């Protein structure tokens, strides 16, 4: 009996310890509310239940089936980001929310801690509107989701509060990556832009190719002015004719010296005649001198 009693005590202790370690089960807690079944389904499909259950303190802002249907057409990644924005990483009940809106109105969510949020996109702002109603909104958005009622509470571990409609961070559709199935079906934007880039258009009909078809240099090459001048260049004719003219000129110059030589010979002969006549005169004078 003693052994059996101790065994039963150990088993009871282990069960109590395991339940204490597990803390809470968000899926089972939401199953008690049929009007939150769609929200519970999104938590399961997005695999957020384990992340929620692993937290020591958590607040879940649940949305009923009618209101949550507004996100049904979005991709699984976008739905996961939106549901993660409804999970606040601390325990809040109505009293603590009233205190929070005055001191720390921005509450950190599971989406902000995931690292996928852009800047403060994953923060939720709590404020009082109207006649003191508690409202939640994504930072940077003026669209409010009001508190309806508390659903369940285990102070200070988990609090489930119902709100009027989903809290959707601004730009969540464009900033959240597509699923692998959608990426295969539709190529990314960069590939679309690569199909018709501006450089490819200019490559199809570049301005240089047009000028190459009918360039002005080609026209000049068909009937170039230099070829015409080469056919009958006046300078070349002048050069060809000049040597001939110059050749004639040396001949004239050659004749000039010959004429000069003739002139010298003529003057020489006249001088000799004069000498002869002088001698004759001298001899005649001498003969006269001898006779007398």
Mean pLDDT of the chain: 71
Summarize the confidence of residues 16-33 as an average pLDDT. 75
Query: Does 286 score more than 80 pLDDT?
Result: no
Residues 153-180: tens digit of each pLDDT: 999 999 999 999 999 999 999 875 444 3
Summarize the confidence of residues 98-118 as an average pLDDT. 94
Phi, psi of 172 (to 5 degrees): -65, -30
Residue of 20, 76, 89 lying closest to 43 (CA atoms): 76
The larger pLDDT score, comparing residue 193 to residue 131, is at 131
Report the DSSP pairing between strands 133-138 and 145-154: antiparallel
Query: Does 227 score more than 50 pLDDT?
Result: no
The larger pLDDT score, comparing residue 106 to residue 262, is at 106
Burial of 166 (0-12, 13-18, 19+ CB in 10 A): buried
Coil, strand or helix: which one is 73? coil
- Cis amide linkage into residue 217, ω under 30° from 0: no
C-alpha angle with apex 253: 250 to 257, nearest 5 degrees? Answer: 140
Please answer whether residues 147 and 94 qualify as being in contact, where contact means their C-beta atoms are separated by less than 8 angstroms: yes
| pLDDT at site 271 | 52
| pLDDT at site 136 | 98
- Residue 194 confidence class, pLDDT cut points 50, 70, 90: very low
Q: Which residues pair with 61 in a beta bridge?
A: 161
0.75 exceeded by the pTM?
Answer: no
Extract the runs of DSSP E, i.e. beta strands, from 113-198: 123-129, 133-138, 145-154, 158-163
């Amino acid at each position: 009996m003693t052994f059996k009693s101790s065994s039963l005590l150990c088993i009871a202790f282990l069960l109590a310890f395991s339940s204490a370690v597990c803390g809470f089960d968000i899926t089972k807690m939401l199953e008690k509310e049929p009007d939150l079944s769609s929200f519970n389904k999104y938590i399961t499909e997005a695999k957020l239940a384990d992340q929620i259950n692993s937290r020591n303190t958590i607040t879940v802002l649940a949305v009923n089936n009618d209101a949550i249907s507004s996100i049904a057409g979005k991709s699984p990644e976008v739905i996961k980001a939106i549901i993660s924005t409804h999970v606040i990483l601390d325990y809040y009940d109505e009293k603590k929310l009233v205190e929070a809106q005055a001191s720390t109105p921005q509450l950190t969510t599971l989406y902000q801690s995931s690292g996928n949020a852009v800047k403060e996109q994953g923060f939720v702002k709590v404020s009082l509107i109207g006649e003191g109603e508690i409202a939640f909104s994504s930072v940077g958005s003026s669209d409010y989701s009001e508190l309806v009622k508390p659903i369940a509470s285990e102070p200070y571990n988990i609090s489930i509060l119902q709100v009027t409609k989903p809290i959707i961070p601004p730009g969540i559709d464009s900033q959240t990556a597509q699923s692998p199935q959608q990426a295969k079906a539709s190529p990314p934007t960069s590939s679309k832009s690569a199909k018709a880039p501006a450089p490819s258009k200019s490559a199809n009909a570049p301005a240089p190719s047009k000028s190459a078809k009918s360039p002005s240099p080609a026209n000049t090459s068909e009937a170039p002015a230099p070829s015409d001048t080469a056919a009958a260049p006046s300078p070349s004719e002048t050069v060809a004719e000049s040597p001939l003219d110059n050749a004639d000129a040396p001949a004239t110059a050659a004749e000039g010296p010959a004429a000069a030589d003739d002139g010298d010979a003529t003057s020489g002969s006249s001088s000799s005649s004069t000498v002869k006549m002088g001698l004759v005169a001298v001899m005649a004078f001498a003969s006269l001198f001898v006779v007398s």
